[in-house]
Chain A
Amino acid sequence: MITAIIFALLAATGWGSSAIFTRKGLEYLPTSIGTILSLIASFIVLATAAIIVYGFQSFSIPIVIFYILVFIGIVNYPIGRYMNFTSVRLAGVSRSSPLLACAPLVSSGLAIIFTNEQLNIYLGVGTLLIVTGIILVVSERR
């Protein structure tokens, strides 16, 4: 269990430090080039890890799943990461990171709409807290 917690902490640190390096890089680089460079680096690391862990044969997937993954790729990277980098450039890391963290709110909302997931007290309280947090960050004028 401790190993899992250490891995989870390393994951959080990885995501957190990614924003710091993005901010540093985008001081000079256009957002589009910065995003493309980071995506290429991410792809090389993850594809290599996938080949080592699962082997080449795991890359043969049904064509329908492939098309879905292409669609996810469009939503997550040219929109998600590009907007993430643009927000870091324009609003700074301190304002953008809490707002980007609203992702689970959208994800659980979609789960309720499309997969009949039940709305419960935890989801209700969580939504309220996230919205309050977002209002606080957005209303910060300094």
Chain B
Amino acid sequence: MWSVKEDKDMKSLITEKNTVILGMLCALIGGSAYGASQFMFKQVFKQNIDPLVAVSYALLSGTIILIVLNIKSLKRPEKQIPKEAYIYCIIAGICASGGLGFSALALNIAPVVVVSPIFALVPLVTLSLTVIFLKATDRVTKKIWIGATLVVIGVIFIGFGSYQ
């Protein structure tokens, strides 16, 4: 009996570990996609296209494509999903666009070299909010804090390097 139980526990542990590794891989792919699009957006802005207009077009096309790709799952929405879940995702979208709007406003009145180090603080802000609001589900260890701080300092350095 015991050996069977231990085996099951082991399997669930391995699955959980793989899930986290897959999640981190997705984060790196996502970060790379964001980086590539940041570079392309910069080239578009050089053509005197208003940033909010450019982002709106990109958002619209991205949304349409994602809807087309997931049309089946949208047609058959799963039952027992609390309304709060939908509201949280909508608020997440509003917060993301709010971030973009405020960044455009900040860049409008101050040079990049002043503003970009503050934008780079995002991982530390996120970790602080995680400690406050997601205590039950997400643990922020010392190693993650140190890693995030190094990333933030690195991003600030890259900002200065690009500006020069």
Q: What is the interface of chain A, defined by CB distance below 8 A to chain B?
A: 1, 3-5, 7-30, 32-43, 45-47, 49-50, 53-54, 58-59, 61-62, 65-66, 68-84, 86-111, 114-115, 117, 120-140, 142
Beta-carbon contacts under 8 Å, B113-164 to A: 114-115, 118-123, 125-130, 133-134, 137-141, 143-144, 146-162, 164
Chain B interface bracket (under 10, 10 to 19, 20 to 34, 35 or more)? 35 or more
Contact A122/B27 with A35-B66, A43-B63 known, Cβ cut-off 8 Å: no
- Summed over the interface, the residue pairs from A and B with CB atoms below 8 Å come to a total of 478
- CB neighbours (8 Å) of A8 from chain B are 102-103, 106, 110, 114-115, 118-119
Chain B 10-43 per-residue mask, 1 if CB under 8 angstroms from chain A, else 0: 0000000001101110111111111111111111
Q: Name the distance in Å between A69's Cβ and chain B's nearest Cβ.
A: 4
| A60 (CB) vs chain B CBs: closest residue | B53
Partner of A29 from the list B85, B123, B146, B150 (CB cut-off 8 Å) is: B85
Within the assembled complex, what's the spacing in Å between the Cα atoms of A20 and B98? 15
Interface centre among B28, B78, B114 (most CB of A within 10 A): B28
Q: Name the distance in Å between B101's Cβ and chain A's nearest Cβ.
A: 6
- CB neighbours (8 Å) of B1 from chain A are none
Please state if B78 and A82 are interface contacts (CB–CB under 8 Å).
no
- CB neighbours (8 Å) of B85 from chain A are 24-29, 34
Interface of A, helix, strand, loop or mixed by DSSP: helix
Contact A123/B157 with A20-B134, A94-B130 known, Cβ cut-off 8 Å: yes
Within the assembled complex, what's the spacing in Å between the Cα atoms of A21 and B4? 39
Please state if A130 and B151 are interface contacts (CB–CB under 8 Å).
yes
Please state if A68 and B44 are interface contacts (CB–CB under 8 Å).
yes
Interface of B, helix, strand, loop or mixed by DSSP: helix
Please state if B143 and A78 are interface contacts (CB–CB under 8 Å).
no
Please state if A99 and B66 are interface contacts (CB–CB under 8 Å).
no
Please state if B59 and A1 are interface contacts (CB–CB under 8 Å).
no
Contact A95/B24 with A25-B86, A108-B161 known, Cβ cut-off 8 Å: yes
Beta-carbon contacts under 8 Å, B65-86 to A: 65-67, 69-70, 73-74, 77-78, 81-82, 84-86
Within the assembled complex, what's the spacing in Å between the Cα atoms of A121 and B162? 11
- 6 A-B residue pairs with Cβ-Cβ distance under 8 Å, sorted by A, are A72-B58, A94-B127, A108-B162, A125-B157, A126-B160, A133-B148
Q: Name the distance in Å between B24's Cβ and chain A's nearest Cβ.
A: 5
Which A-B residue pairs are the 4 nearest by beta carbons?
A77-B62, A91-B23, A106-B35, A90-B23
- CB neighbours (8 Å) of B127 from chain A are 93-94, 97-98
Please state if B160 and A122 are interface contacts (CB–CB under 8 Å).
yes
| A28 (CB) vs chain B CBs: closest residue | B85
Within the assembled complex, what's the spacing in Å between the Cα atoms of A114 and B151? 24
Contact A122/B92 with A42-B59, A75-B33, A129-B151 known, Cβ cut-off 8 Å: no
Within the assembled complex, what's the spacing in Å between the Cα atoms of A90 and B69? 21
Partner of A102 from the list B28, B49, B97, B139 (CB cut-off 8 Å) is: B28
